[in-house]
Amino acid sequence: MYRLLAALLLVALHLPAQAVTAVVLDMPGFAWNGHGWIPEMLGRLQVQQQAITLRLLPPARAVERYYRGGEGELFAADLLCRRHDSHFLTLGVRDYEVFITRQGNKVPGPGNLPPAGERVLVVRGFNHTFVQQHPRLRWEEVNSIDKALDMLRARRANYFFSFLALSEDAMRAQGSNSYFSYDSSKAIDEVWPALSFRPNENGLLLAQQLRQQLQQQWQSGQYASLLQRYGLPAWHIRPGLDGRFNVVQAADCPVIRTPPPP
């Protein structure tokens, strides 16, 4: 532990004094044209007395630009350990993966999957573990939650597999809640939104620096006020948060192995 702290301190002394860029999903729940709890939270944070610059992108493009194009120093918001090639800073909230369908249709669950051959939409880049574990289902990738909901309403697909709170935010923005059916008691998995950082010493140091700032905001009541202002009790604030924002290193995340084809 002492060696790690010493190494981080050494890196801190040699970090370039430049602005940090965060690649942000521009969609309901994370950001919407620059508004939302993620942009406001990041707007309160500073690195070396400089504000964090936000780069708002649609979900699929945001993942592409950060993980493959190398843009930005952090990615907001990712899902904890859905990728093993990043360090993570958890944000103390959680969401659930569910199947969404049109009103009147039966809602699938963990032990009752959609029938074979029916189209199941999923947002590209979210790296759903469940999708990788069930390659026999007819998955179809789309660029955003809004696109998936539009296709579901137009009967161009049968199901949408997505995150409950994010999807509810998108439905509210569209005014389309009455068209869809889902069951939170049939959740497939629990996920923890997190900030994602480069898997190197600079990324780990940046996560540690922002963790301290978030802890201070929690202790002052600013963080809880932010969640409440954006209706984030719907995000299910994780029990036992108590101001603890945990840094998870890439080495601690299990590699997701796709099962062999039948």
| CATH number of the domain to which 17 belongs | 3.40.190.10
Query: Measured between alpha carbons, how far is 110 from 108 in angstroms, rounded to an integer?
Result: 7
Average pLDDT over the chain, rounded to an integer: 84
210: left (phi over 0), alpha (psi -120 to 50) or beta: alpha
Judged by average pLDDT, the poorest of 7-11, 22-26, 162-166 is: 7-11
How do residues 108-137 score in pLDDT, each as one tens digit?
999 899 988 889 999 987 888 899 889 889
Query: Measured between alpha carbons, how far is 5 from 247 in angstroms, rounded to an integer?
Result: 14
Q: What is the span of the domain harbouring residue 114?
A: 96-190
Query: Measured between alpha carbons, how far is 223 from 216 in angstroms, rounded to an integer?
Result: 9
Are 62 and 24 part of one and the same domain?
yes
| Residue where a domain terminates, one of 142, 163, 190 | 190
How do residues 162-219 score in pLDDT, each as one tens digit?
998 889 888 988 899 899 999 989 999 888 889 999 999 999 999 999 999 999 999 9
Are 113 and 238 part of one and the same domain?
no
Q: Which residue has the higher pLDDT, 260 or 204?
A: 204
Q: Cβ distance 101 to 160 under 8 Å?
A: yes
Are 228 and 186 part of one and the same domain?
no
Are 143 and 201 part of one and the same domain?
no
Q: Cβ distance 193 to 78 under 8 Å?
A: yes
Q: Is residue 261 part of a domain?
A: no
Provide the number of structural domains found in the chain.
2
Q: Cβ distance 231 to 165 under 8 Å?
A: no
pLDDT surpasses 60 at 8: no
Are 162 and 80 part of one and the same domain?
no
pLDDT surpasses 60 at 44: yes
